[in-house]
Structure 1
Amino acid sequence: MSTVLSVKKREAGHRSTLTQLRKGGAIPAVIYGYNLDSTPISISAKEFRKSILKNGQNSVFPMDLDGKKVNVVVSEIQQSSLRDEVNHIDFIAINMSEALEADVPIKLVGGSVGVSEGGILMQPNLELKIKVKPTDMPEVIEVDITKLLIGESITVANIRETIDFEIVSEDDRILATMMAPSVVVEEADSTE
């Protein structure tokens, strides 16, 4: 499990107060969920970034909230569209013994036969919704595409039996598809 994140309670404030926090190197956030009322907090931007890089966004983060240890997951991260900085974070306090739903990134692995034949690999969905205990949460779900031929697709139904946890997404959700290469037909010169 990751290192304990230190947070401070904050007053729910005006935009200027939140701007002051961000300028001071903190991120305004809120924590709510299991055995906890909605509480506005602030967290060090540097500490949060380091923890995300080390453990990934789907990890369980132990948090120290006024001496009370709380296990949380990231529910939402709001980022600035102009700068690479986090504006706000929603944390959900969780019960470690209960399964929870989470969107986990899909990673396509293997060299596809279809690509070697000139096909174009498409990945229409980048995440898969699963239900799993927090301690068993994977960082990514690997989908093997080595046997994917031109004109074929891999759906949730194709991988459901190979995954060790419950998949919430529907069976017809496409994870990868191999498109035929487009052929450019040059027009014959009509002046001949």
Structure 2
Amino acid sequence: MKSLSLKAFPRSLAKRSAVKKLRVTGRVPAIIYGRKIQPQNLEVTLTDIEDLIHQSVSETILVDLAVEGEAKSRRLALVQEVQHHPLSRKVLHVDFHEVAENEKVTVTVPVETTGEAAGVKTGGGVLEHVLFKLKVRALPRELPEVITVDVTRLEIGQSIHLGEIPLPPGVEVIGDKKIPVISVAAPITEAQEAAALEAATTPLAEPDVLKEKKEEGAEQAAAGGAAKPAQKGVEKPSEKPVEKAEKAEKAEKKPEKKK
């Protein structure tokens, strides 16, 4: 991987107010850390870091960092993380991870295809990109920016697995070597499309448990609403005892007619 030059400056203030003022001047707060060094606050010019990001074809960026005022002319580092503003997408903060020339590092690199698969060209198949990024391990300057895979000979039903990916010298891929990275699937027929459409539009059937509960509830409601049968041998009272007594009392108090 080719390293890109970047100039940085020591940063003494880390408070939020100071960081805001720093961004107004056209610089961005940054930090550099590593396995054998203490974290150090830095600042870089906004336009420099944006140009560096645009020049790179990969998310993994290797930089030769020149920190002003340091005796060491260059510090080899990876751009570990870049924070962007959610709306303007301007760079807000940068993390650098210092690495050693002779020590291997693990990074993620993108996978790209070249050529047209035979199964797509002649058989109408569909090229499926299963993995878009691979984790690799190598010395910093031997890291690939991107891994290119030739799919020209790939027929329908065939796959290129992780263990079959061609790698540059000194680069090791990490992961299960049997995992497919790129495949060619058979074309979808009209019958399959119709079946998929029907399955998507057909309402789901209710589970048997819910059906049983609904039927049970309906039966209970029907039973509660029906009139209870009269018991045999028991006459239904025509009047309540209180009403009968009130009628008798009124009959006694009724005045006699004058002659």
In the alignment, is residue 132 of structure 1 matched against residue 138 of structure 2? Answer: yes
Determine the structure 1 residue equivalent to 2:41. Answer: 40
1:115 to 113, 120, 125: 120
1:90-128 deviation line (CA, Å, top 9, x unaligned): 110011111111111111111111221222222132111
Q: For 1:168-179, list aligned pairs within 5 A.
A: 168-179=174-185
Q: Which amino acid aligns with 2:105?
A: L
Cα 1:27–1:118 change in 2 (3 A) is: farther
How big is the shift at 1:3? Answer: 5.0
**Structure 1 spans left out of the alignment, 5+ residues:** 188-192
The structure whose residues are more often strand, as a share, is 1
Count of residue pairs the alignment pairs up: 185
> What aligned pairs does 1:76-155 form with structure 2 within 5 A after superposition?
76-116=81-121, 117-155=123-161
SS in 2 for 1:147: coil
Compared CA separation, residues 24 and 158, structure 1 to 2 (3 A): same
Deviations 1:117-156 (A, max 9, x none): 2222221321111111111121111111112222222211
2:125, 2:187 within 8 Å by CA — same for their partners in 1? yes
* Contact 2:50-2:91 within 8 A present in 1 as well: no
Task: Name the CA distance, whole Å, in 1 between partners of 2:133 and 2:82.
Answer: 16
What is aligned with 1:190? none
CA distance in 2, matches of 1:101, 1:139: 13
Mapped partners of 1:182, 1:23: distance in 2:
55
| CA pair 151-17 structure 1, distance change in 2 beyond 3 A | farther
Aligned amino acid, residue 110 of structure 2? P
Would the aligned equivalents of 1:124 and 1:176 in 2 still touch at CA under 8 Å?
A: yes
Higher helix share: 2
Instruction: After TM superposition, give the deviation of residue 2 of structure 1 in Å.
Output: 4.3
Flag the structure with more relative contact order, 1 or 2, with Cα contacts below 8 A and sequence separation at least 6: 1
TM, length-normalised to structure 2: 0.63
Gaps of 5+ in 2: 196-259
**Contact 1:70 / 1:93 at 8 angstroms: preserved in 2?**
yes
3-state SS, counterpart of residue 96 of structure 2? strand
- State the Cα RMSD in Å: 2.3
Identity over aligned residues, as a percent?
A: 28
Structure 1 residue 34 displacement after superposition: 4.4
Amino acid at match of 2:41: P
* Equivalent in the alignment of 2:77: 72
Could you tell me whether the CA contact under 8 Å between 1:59 and 1:137 is conserved in 2? no
Map of 1:157 onto structure 2? 163
- Amino acid across the alignment from 2:145: E
